[in-house]
């Protein structure tokens, strides 16, 4: 379709990625798709381009409160990013669209939905609130996309998703994308997809070949000194540093700033405005280091990230793949450094089992601890105790998710209509009654 091709050409895209090459014809034909692809493979365009084509060909207009295409994402940042992709590729098409997430005021979202929308990109919680209170009607959805399905499970969204799916019409196109395929995602795919085409462009949880991976064995109390040394001595243009906890991210960003290294923290307890400012300053180069919890491991596409540092190894090995995938994007090369203390040895072994290779050790630094390195294959080292409290996922999913975080993914909303943005705050309204929902504690 000429308007879409014109928009794609304006972005400088000439060659389709493998996931795009395989998925676009299938979606255009109206067949359901199960796509296994990691972030950075171009999967957003793989579903947004054919969806725009199908919506334009149908030449329908949504009725009041109706939605033609619904895309669910686990995090607010990913929702905003996907919404921006629809805006970019559909710039020459007169579609009404919006991004719906928690934290932004309800009134703009209710007003946008009142007139009907062609495309809604949402996080599950806020959309469910609006739908249950009658502000959104999902019984005429033509195309349903579940993006980052495995992350949805990690963050405890499964019950919300099932309730939303129950509101959808039986006749629709279903697209499910996931970087990994744990049993729970496979079961959801079996329940949701009909006569689907499975498209797998990379093995699940495989690491990017262009990333140079290293593990650095160090005492826990020497990690900060090692990090400062690495940031000052190595040629690092833009780095994302991962911690397991929100408090740890804040503290580390402050410590780096005191050492003269511009740094910002990004995690679920930050207001949406603060998170967007941190990302903007990181993208512009004003801030060299972004300290993040695992909420940033998926869906945030920042160009030019030369290094990823796992300041603390993730307690879920799959998260390692998504963390280091923030570098070596769009054909570039990258470096992933992992700091490993004694108690994290079991995490390292779990990671190596998932990626099916040993991470090379780097002992050429002043803080190398040979006693820790000697235990990397020892089965007797016990992992650290995870913090308890405040990490219970929604829908009865207890336990700690990747990065020690509870459910994330509600925040900035994008204005309705043609690409206008709205400000935001964090949280999801729950007032148990009818009428306008009321925002409460941050999610």
Has residue 144 been placed in a domain? yes
- Write down the pLDDT at residue 210: 73
Has residue 134 been placed in a domain? yes
Has residue 405 been placed in a domain? no
- Write down the pLDDT at residue 42: 85
Residues 183 and 229 occupy one common structural domain:
no
Residues 159 and 81 occupy one common structural domain:
yes
Has residue 425 been placed in a domain? no
Mean pLDDT, the chain, integer: 83
Residues 155 and 239 occupy one common structural domain:
no
Has residue 334 been placed in a domain? yes
Has residue 132 been placed in a domain? yes
Residue 238 DSSP one-character state: S
Residues 174 and 269 occupy one common structural domain:
no
Tell me what the mean pLDDT of segment 141-147 comes to.
97
Has residue 353 been placed in a domain? yes
Where helices occur in 76-193 by DSSP H, the ranges are 76-89, 106-114, 124-132, 149-154, 158-166, 183-192
Burial of 17 (0-12, 13-18, 19+ CB in 10 A): middle
- On whether the CB atoms of residues 427 and 441 are closer than 8 A, the answer is yes
Has residue 60 been placed in a domain? yes
- Write down the pLDDT at residue 253: 95
How many structural domains does the chain have?
Answer: 2
CATH for 349? 3.40.50.300
- DSSP for 243-295, please give it: -SSHHHHHHHHHHHHHTT--EEEE-TTS-HHHHHHHHHHHHHTS-SEEEE-GG
Q: Give the range with max mean pLDDT: 71-85, 214-228, 290-304.
A: 214-228
- On whether the CB atoms of residues 321 and 38 are closer than 8 A, the answer is yes
Write the secondary structure of 186-225 as one string of H (helix), E (strand) and C (coil). HHHHHHHCCCCEEEECCCCCCCCCCEEEEEEECCHHHHHH
Strand partners, 120: 70, 98
Residues 198 and 171 occupy one common structural domain:
yes
Residues 240 and 153 occupy one common structural domain:
no
Tell me what the mean pLDDT of segment 152-158 comes to.
84
Residues 189 and 63 occupy one common structural domain:
yes
Where helices occur in 14-116 by DSSP H, the ranges are 18-29, 43-58, 76-89, 106-114
Q: Which of 349, 373, 397 is the last residue of a domain?
A: 373
pTM of model > 0.75 = no
pLDDT at 237 over 90: no
Residues 165 and 224 occupy one common structural domain:
no
Residues 161 and 272 occupy one common structural domain:
no
Residues 320 and 349 occupy one common structural domain:
yes
Range of 178's domain? 2-204+413-417
- Write down the pLDDT at residue 298: 62
- On whether the CB atoms of residues 340 and 313 are closer than 8 A, the answer is yes
Residues 196 and 215 occupy one common structural domain:
no
**Tens of pLDDT along 190-216?**
999 999 999 988 654 454 667 899 999
- Write down the pLDDT at residue 431: 40
Residues 24 and 95 occupy one common structural domain:
yes
More confident residue, 132 or 383: 132
Sign of CA dihedral 35, 16, 86, 326: positive
- Write down the pLDDT at residue 182: 83
Task: Provide the pLDDT confidence category of residue 297 given band limits of 50, 70 and 90.
Answer: low
Longest dimension (CA), the chain: 68
């Amino acid at each position: 379709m000429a308007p879409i091709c014109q928009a794609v050409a304006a972005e400088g895209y000439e060659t389709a990625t493998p996931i795009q090459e395989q998925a676009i014809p299938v979606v255009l034909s109206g067949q359901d798709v199960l796509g296994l692809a990691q972030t950075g493979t171009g999967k957003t365009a793989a579903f947004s381009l054919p969806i725009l084509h199908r919506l334009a060909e149908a030449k329908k207009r949504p009725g009041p409160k109706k939605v033609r295409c619904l895309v669910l994402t686990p995090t607010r940042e990913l929702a905003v990013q996907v919404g921006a992709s629809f805006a970019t590729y559909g710039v020459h098409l007169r579609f009404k669209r919006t991004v719906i997430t928690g934290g932004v005021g309800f009134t703009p979202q209710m007003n946008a939905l009142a007139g009907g929308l062609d495309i809604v990109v949402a996080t599950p919680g806020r959309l469910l609130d609006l739908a249950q209170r009658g502000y959104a009607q999902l019984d005429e959805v033509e195309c349903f996309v579940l993006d980052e399905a495995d992350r949805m499970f990690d963050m405890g969204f499964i019950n919300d998703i099932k309730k939303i799916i129950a509101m959808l019409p039986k006749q629709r196109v279903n697209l499910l994308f996931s970087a990994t395929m744990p049993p729970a995602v496979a079961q959801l795919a079996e329940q949701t997809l009909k006569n689907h085409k499975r498209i797998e462009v990379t093995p699940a949880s495989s690491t990017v070949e262009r990333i140079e991976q290293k593990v650095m064995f160090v005492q826990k109390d020497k990690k900060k000194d090692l990090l400062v040394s690495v940031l000052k001595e190595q040629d690092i243009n833009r780095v994302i540093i991962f911690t397991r906890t929100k408090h740890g991210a804040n503290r580390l960003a402050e410590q780096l700033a005191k050492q003269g290294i511009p740094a910002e923290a990004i995690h679920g307890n930050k207001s949406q405005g603060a998170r967007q400012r941190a990302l903007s300053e990181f993208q512009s180069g004003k801030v060299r280091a972004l300290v993040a919890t695992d909420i940033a491991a998926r869906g945030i596409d920042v160009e030019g990230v030369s290094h990823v540092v796992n300041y603390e190894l993730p307690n879920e090995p799959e998260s390692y793949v998504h963390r280091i995938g923030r570098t070596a994007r769009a054909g570039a090369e990258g470096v992933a450094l992992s700091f490993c203390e004694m108690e994290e040895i079991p995490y390292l072994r779990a990671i190596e089992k998932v990626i099916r290779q040993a991470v090379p050790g780097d002992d050429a630094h002043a803080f190398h601890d040979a006693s820790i390195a000697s235990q990397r294959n020892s089965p007797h080292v016990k992992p650290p105790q995870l913090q308890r409290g405040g990490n219970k996922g929604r829908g009865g999913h207890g336990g700690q998710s990747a990065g020690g975080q509870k459910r994330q993914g509600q925040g900035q909303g994008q204005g309705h209509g043609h690409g206008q943005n709205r400000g935001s705050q964090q949280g999801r309204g729950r007032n148990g009654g009818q009428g306008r929902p009321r925002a409460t504690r941050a999610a």
